[in-house]
Amino acid sequence: MLNVYPLFYSIGGLTIRLDLLRQNLALSLAAALIGVAAPIGLAFALLRGAFGSSALEAFIVGVALCSTSLGTTLVVLSTATTAGGVDFAQTRVGTVLVSAAVIDDVVGLVLVSVIHRLSGITDGNGGLGWVIGRPVLASGLMGLLTPLTAKFVLGPLFRRFAQARLARMGHVGNALLMALVLGAFLAISGYAGASVLFGSFLAGTFLSSLPGDGTLQQGTPNFLETMERYVGGAQRLVLQPLFFASIGFAIPFLDMWTGEIIWKGLVFSLLMALGKVLVGIVVPISDLLSRLSGGQKGESKMTSSWAPATLLGMAMVARGEIGLLIIQIGLNETPYLSREAFMIAIWAIVLNTILGPVSVGILLKRAGQTIGDDPQWGAQATDSSTDAESVMGSRGAAGPDKTSGA
């Protein structure tokens, strides 16, 4: 568990392109909503309707499968960029993909805090509404107040009084500020009832927004470079292996190979893949709405939507260690998840994490150039108003490959 804080702190917060997220926010929210609701709904339909699981058990499994492996997605896209010459990070479909994956993981982190508190529910408690409502309310308020505080209060104060001093201190000053901010967000999220993982994510976004327009003095290290300098090696060589080993120790490997678990796991895996592939439906819907409003770019036709729609859907299929983390929390910290449901979920997480990248790789080899050249979903002209804001994200673009997996 120790590894998760710096992992999300570096990937989820420090490298997110807030400018691109804002440009495609509505479409990304729609894609993320489908990516969360469909797996949870299908988990309820199969586990509760066909396998006889309880509602809370189906909910825990569905939450574990609603996350998306952002690190895997970024690695696949960066590999395709190198091989094909198309920078998919600068395409519209790539922007929606990364933004939706980030939102899905944020929602998963919020729901983790709900699962944490499920252990406090007892028969006749009557407090179910507050048990679920408190972490959701706390997470929502933190997510709303953090960017507002950074933009209008602490950001201007930082740039006026502290930025020049920290620049003279170099990595040491950055490290001190990062430790202070991370500790503060972990304390606030813990006492408020939100997920401490979500708190670490917000700490990273808060830090990345402090410089405002992203302008840094020549030779001044940014926060991501400081994170890599002091934590990157230990994270890759010690913390990350320990984290995955701790999850692996909890997997009953031999028990997973019984006939009943295998066929249930395969069926559930296919449903969970379908739940994420459905995200791609936002592409033809967006094209249809654009055509109806007369805003379709160039001569792109509805029939050309299949490639970007398939890319968006299949790239969302991969789950990562967040899914494994959530399902392990459900098993170890609540009394509601059975070993059978746990093993079925493990099958789905592992198979989907393999299926997604393989499918995306095949698609990009066949239709990558077509997607990149598409006037509606391919590479988009750079908005000069966001160039300065993109500096922080572009300087940290290599971060996810070094700490991939979130």
pTM: 0.74
**What HEC string does 286-330 produce?**
HHHHHHHCCCCCCCCCHHHHHHHHHHHHHHCCCCCHHHHHHHHHH
Residue 306 has pLDDT above 80, yes or no: yes
- In this structure, the number of other CB atoms found within 10 A of the CB of residue 259 comes to 7
CA distance 405 to 73: 9
Tens digit of pLDDT for each residue in 362-382?
A: 888 888 888 888 878 877 655
Q: Which residues contact 238 (CB under 8 A, 6 or more apart)?
A: none
More confident residue, 11 or 236: 236
Contacts of 123 (CB under 8 A, 6+ apart): none
pLDDT at 17: 58
| pLDDT greater than 50 at residue 345 | yes
The count of domains in the chain is 1
Q: How far is CA 11 from the centre of its chain?
A: 9
Task: State the residue range of the domain holding 41.
Answer: 4-402
With a CB cutoff of 8 Å and minimum separation 6, the contacts of 172 are: none
Indicate the range of 48-52, 83-87, 274-278, 367-371 predicted with least confidence.
83-87
Per-residue model confidence (pLDDT) at position 208: 81
Q: For the domain that residue 192 is a member of, what is the CATH number?
A: 1.20.1530.20
- Tell me the C-alpha to C-alpha distance, in Å, between residue 191 and each of 135, 188, 232: 10, 5, 29
Contact between 82 and 370 (Cβ < 8 Å): no
Going from the C-alpha of 263 to that of each of 43, 51, 52, the distances in angstroms are: 15, 12, 16
What is the chain's mean pLDDT, rounded?
78
Q: Tens digit of pLDDT for each residue in 172-225?
A: 888 899 889 989 998 998 888 887 777 887 888 888 888 865 555 556 777 878
pLDDT of residue 65: 93
pLDDT number for residue 399: 41
Q: Under 8 Å CB-to-CB from 326, ≥6 apart: which residues?
A: 60, 63, 64, 67, 108, 111, 112, 115
| CA pair distance 388, 390, nearest whole angstrom | 5
Read off the pLDDT of each residue in 49-63 and give the average, rounded to a whole number: 90
